[in-house]
Structure 1
C-alpha cells in the first residue's frame, strides 16, 4: 500500500467527487458506496495500516486532514472511513487481531472498501462511555467462544467486513473480532436519523456466533481494579470524528458563499454577497471554522511535542470543536432563512449532519462536570 497523496489539490478532488453523490445517498439512506470507492481509490481508507503490514502507517494529524476532506464531501462517508481508520491504527499500535482475520481484511482492502467498526452501544445500556457493562456475552466452548447479544447504533450495517464487538467473557471485558459473514448475525433496520442518514447505523443481533479462542481481546482494568471505558476519555487517536465534522462546517461555508454570490434580489440589484451584512455573516462562519481547525491541529501538535500535561484537557478541546462546528453551520442557515432550510440547498443537510457531532463520546455534560471538578479540587 502506497502512501496516499495528501496535497491540498488531491484532497480537494476527493472532496468534490464524494460530494457529487452525497445528496443522493442522504435521500435514499443507502450505504454511500460511490463515495467510499472514491476514498478507497485515493488510498485513504487504509492510510493507518501499520508499516509492519506494508501500509503507510500515517499518524493522527494526517488522519484528521483525510477525514476533514472526506467529511466535507459527505459526513456519512467520513464516519465510515473514520471507524475503519481507527481500527487499523489500533492494530498497528498493538497487535490484537487473529492473524488470519487481519490478513483477510488487508486482502479485501486491496480490491475495494473493507469497512470495520467497533460495535459497542446496546439498546438498554446506551452509550458505553456513560458507564456500565455490556449484556453481550462470550461463552467458552471447547475450542473458542460463542457470542450472543444485541447491539445498537452499529454504523456500517451490512457493508461491514468485520465487527469489533464489545462483550463480557468470563467476567472480563473486552472486544471480540467478528467476520461479518458468519452465521448467526442478523441486522435490524432501525436507523432513521436526522443526520448521517447514509451511515447505516442499524441494530445487530448475534445469536450463537462461533469464534476462535484468539478472537477475544481483554481491556485491562485500572489500578483500582475498576473497568473504565476507554472511549470515555479523549486521546490522540480520538480526533477523527471531530475532523470529519470540521469538514461538514467547511462544506456549509462553501454552500453559504455559493448561494450568496448567486442570489440577486430584485430590490437590491446585486448579489447579496456584496452587502456588509452577508459579508459579516461569512466572516463569523469563517471565524468559527478557523477556531475549530486551530483547536484540532493545535491539540495534536502539542501532543506530538510531548505535552502530556495537556491530556486532561483533550475532552474539553473536543467539546469546543463541536460548539464551533455547530455554530458555523447554524449561522449559515439562520442568515439565509427559508433558502437555508430547503432540501434543494445542501445547507440543511450540513446542519443535520453537524448536529450529530454531539453524540460522540465524551459528551459535553460529562466533560464539563469532569473539568469543573478538576478546577475546583484543591491542589
Structure 2
C-alpha cells in the first residue's frame, strides 16, 4: 500500500493506519518484488488475456525463478518463505488478477503442499524441486460434479488390483488440469479417502477445459475423466488418510485467498479513487461530492480492516497457533468485503466501468469464483457457527 500520486502532490494510499509499519524489511522487500513483477508482466497484458480467455503459460518459469511456487514450503528446492511473505505475494498477484494468484495457489498451496505434507521422501525428491522451478505444473482433483461442498460424498473410486490401483471417476472445476504434468487425485477406497499422484499422460486420464466462463477468464479450470487409470502402488500418498488429507491442503489455499482478495479490493479502490479525481461532473471532480467520499471511505476502511485480519492470521500461522475456524473467518470476511468493494468501484466508474480499460468489474467477476472455491460463504459461516455454538449445522 505504498503512496501513489493523484496529480496534485497529495499522497494517495489505501493505508489509513500505517499498516506498512507492521511488516519487516524482508516482508516489504518480497512485496515490492512481486509488485514490480505484476506491474511489468501482468498489468500491461491482463485485459487482453482476460478477453481472450488465455492463461499466460510463459509466466510459469518466471514465477518459479521469483520463488513464488511452493513459496511457503521448506526443503526440496522450495523457497521456505514465511506465512506473511507468502500472504503479501498473494495480495500483489491478485491485485494483478485472481487467475494468476490462483495459479500460484493451485501449484503451491494445493498440489505441492499435498506432496510436501503427505508424500514419501521419494515422491518429494522426485516432484517438488521441479514444481518449485516451474518445470512441472500440478493440479488438485477433489471437487466432483456432484460433490462440491460435501467432498465426503465423492464417487471417484480406487480399487486394488495386485500391487496396482485402478481409478475410475470424474472431477470438476480443477484448475490447470489441461496443462498439468501431474494431478493430485483424491478418491474413495475400501480404506476411506486416499490421495494419489497421477501423471497426466497416464492412459485413461483426460482433462477438458470448461468454457465459456464469465469469471477467471485468464485462468484454466477443467473437467477430469478417469477411466481405468492404472497406477503403481508408489503413486499413493502414504501420509494422507481420510478427508483430513485434502482439508489440510485446502486450508493452505484458503490462507492465501485471505490476502489475495484484499489485493483485488485495493486495486479496484485505487482505480475508483483515481477516476473520481479526474472525472468532472457539473464542473467539479466526482471526488468532491459527499456521496463519492463516503463510498471511498467505506472502501478504505474495509481494506484496512481486511489487511489487519490477514496480518493477524499470518502471525498466528507463523507461530503455529492458527486454527481452522480462524482461516474461515478470514476467507469469509475478506472475500465478502472485497467483492462489495469491487462492485461499488465499478459503479463509481459509470458506463466506463464495464470495459476492460478499468479493473473493478474484472476483479468483481473473478471474485465470484474466489468466494465460491475453497469453501463457499455458507460453508465458512457454518464452520464459524459450529465453533461459536458447538453445534454442527451442516446437515
Give TM class, smaller chain: 0.7 to 0.9
- On the 8 A contact 2:35/2:92 being kept in 1, the answer is yes
Aligned-residue offset at 1:157: 2.9
**Which sections of structure 2, spanning at least 5 residues, go unmatched?**
1-25
- The answer to whether the Cα contact below 8 Å between 2:279 and 2:285 also exists between their aligned partners in 1 is yes
Match of 2:256 in 1: 240
Aligned with 1:220 (options 241, 257, 263): 241
Task: Report the equivalent of 1:286.
Answer: 300
Distance 1:195 1:42 in 2: 27
Match of 1:41 among 65, 71, 91: 65
Match of 1:119 in 2: 141
Checking the alignment, whether the CA contact within 8 Å between 2:277 and 2:286 is kept in structure 1 is yes
> What CA distance in whole angstroms lies between the structure 2 residues aligned with 1:99 and 1:214?
9
User: Quick one: structure 1 residues 85 and 108, their matched pair in 2 at CA, closer, same or farther if it must change by over 3 Å?
Assistant: closer
Asked whether the 8 Å contact 1:48–1:88 carries over to 2, the reply is no
1:262 to 278, 282, 287: 278
- The answer for the alignment partner of 2:52 in structure 1 is 28
CA distance in 2, matches of 1:48, 1:18: 22
CA distance in 2, matches of 1:233, 1:40: 20
Q: Which residue of 1 aligns with 2:309?
A: 295
Tell me the CA shift for residue 283 of structure 1.
Answer: 2.0
Per-residue deviation, 1:100: 5.4
TM-score by length of 1: 0.84
The 1:131–1:184 alpha-carbon spacing in structure 2 relative to 1, beyond 3 Å, is closer
Q: 1:333 to 1:237 in 2, by over 3 A?
A: closer
**2:184 pairs with 1:164:** yes
Note the C-alpha offset of 1:233: 10
Q: Quote the residue 2:198 is aligned against.
A: 178
Task: Pick the aligned partner of 2:353 from 335, 340, 352.
Answer: 340
Q: Does 1:320 align with 2:333?
A: yes
Deviation at 1:166, TM superposition (A): 1.0
Deviation at 1:205, TM superposition (A): 0.9
CA RMSD of aligned residues (A): 2.9
Question: 1:79 touches 1:244 (CA, 8 Å); kept in 2?
Answer: no
Conservation of the 8 A alpha-carbon contact between 2:31 and 2:85: no
> Which 10-residue stretch deviates more, 362-371 or 166-175?
362-371
The answer to whether the Cα contact below 8 Å between 1:80 and 1:155 also exists between their aligned partners in 2 is yes
CA separation in 1, counterparts of 2:77 and 2:307? 31
Change (3 A) 1:84 1:247: same
Correspondence for 1:224: none
Say which SS state the counterpart of residue 246 (structure 1) adopts. Answer: helix
CA deviations over 1:204-238 (Å, ceiling 9, x no partner): 112222212021236435xxxxx668539974663
Maintained 8 Å contact 1:45/1:113: no
TM-score scaled by length of structure 2: 0.81
Query: What displacement does 1:85 show?
Result: 1.3
Q: Deviations over 1:13-43 (max 9, x none)?
A: 1121222221112111122224444423322
CA contact (8 A) 1:4 1:44 kept: no
CA distance in 2, matches of 1:76, 1:375: 33
Give the deviation of 1:264 after TM superposition.
Answer: 3.0
Report the counterpart of residue 224 of structure 2 in structure 1: 204
Tell me how many residue pairs correspond in the alignment: 363
> Per the alignment, in what secondary structure is the counterpart of residue 173 of structure 1?
strand
Check whether the contact 2:30–2:85 (CA below 8 A) recurs between aligned residues. no
Q: Which 4+ stretches in 1 moved above 6 angstroms?
A: none
Q: How much does 1:119 deviate?
A: 0.9
Kept in 1: contact 2:185–2:197 (CA 8 A) = yes
1:359 aligns with 2:382: no
User: Structure 1: which 5+ residue stretches go unaligned?
Assistant: 222-226
Structure 1 position 48, deviation (Å)? 3.2
Counterpart in 2 of 1:149?
169
